[in-house]
Amino acid sequence: MKKLIVMLFVLPFIAISQTEANNFKIENGSLVWQKVFESDVNPNDLFTNILSKGYFKDVNRTDSTLTGIFEGIEPDYKGYGSSELSTPMYISRSFINGGVSIQVRQGRYRVVLSNLTFEQKYDDALTKQGEKTKIETFSGRKDLKRAFLKKPANILTFTFDKIFQYQETDDNW
């Protein structure tokens, strides 16, 4: 009985190492966002749709891959259902920049975002406009921080899903 009581008391304090959650994972000390989308979309249509959103530059394309850099993505905390005051400042006051790789296979495509940084939108008491901070400062380099996994990771996944989920456009207006 004493062992059971000790286990129930100690168990909640044991830290569980977590290196993957909510499409984020740590690879060699860097945070990567990776998601596989199920779709039979033609690679050319997919790439045209994604590039039309205006965030991408230095793009290289082949028949089934796209690589490049993205800049200026605003985390959509409002669309996620949060307010500016209840969202961590590094999310609500920053743009997201990084590298992108998209690979298309039969019936699916994979998006990998790496070298993620936050770029300050405007001057405030703590930071200057344009100041860049690596995402690992907030997410962790060895294990994902619980504070990051709560709201920030969910807001970023919501934002990335909106940008990279293929949506057919209706040209019959």
Residue 13: its pLDDT value, please? 40
Given a cut of 80, is residue 27 above it in pLDDT?
A: yes
DSSP-derived 3-state class of residue 170: coil
pLDDT digits 0-9 by tens, 37-92: 999 999 999 999 999 999 999 999 999 999 999 999 999 999 999 999 999 999 99
CA atoms of 137 and 48, how far apart (whole Å): 33
Chain length of the chain? 173
- Residue 163 or residue 125, greater confidence: 163
Look at residue 19 in the predicted model and tell me its pLDDT.
Answer: 78
Q: Which residues, other chains included, contact 22 with Cβ-Cβ below 8 Å and sequence gap of 6+?
A: 149, 153, 154, 157
3-class DSSP assignment, residue 54: coil
Higher-pLDDT residue of 124, 170: 124
- pLDDT score of 106: 94
For 9-26, what is each residue's pLDDT tens digit?
444 444 455 878 889 999
Please say whether the dihedral angle defined by the alpha carbons of residues 145, 148, 151 and 157, taken in this order, is positive or negative: negative
Kindly tell me if the per-residue pLDDT of 29 is higher than 80: yes
pLDDT at 7 over 50: no
Does 4 have pLDDT greater than 60? no
Q: What pLDDT shows up at residue 35?
A: 97
The CATH number of domain 19-164 is 2.30.170:
no
Evaluate if residue 122 carries a pLDDT over 80. Answer: yes
Position 173 scores a pLDDT of 60
* Percent of the chain predicted with pLDDT > 70: 87
Domains in the chain: boundaries: 19-164
Residue 8, pLDDT above cutoff 70: no
Average pLDDT over the chain, rounded to whole? 89
50 phi, psi to nearest 5 deg: -70, -45
Q: Compute φ and ψ for 172, nearest 5 degrees.
A: -95, 75
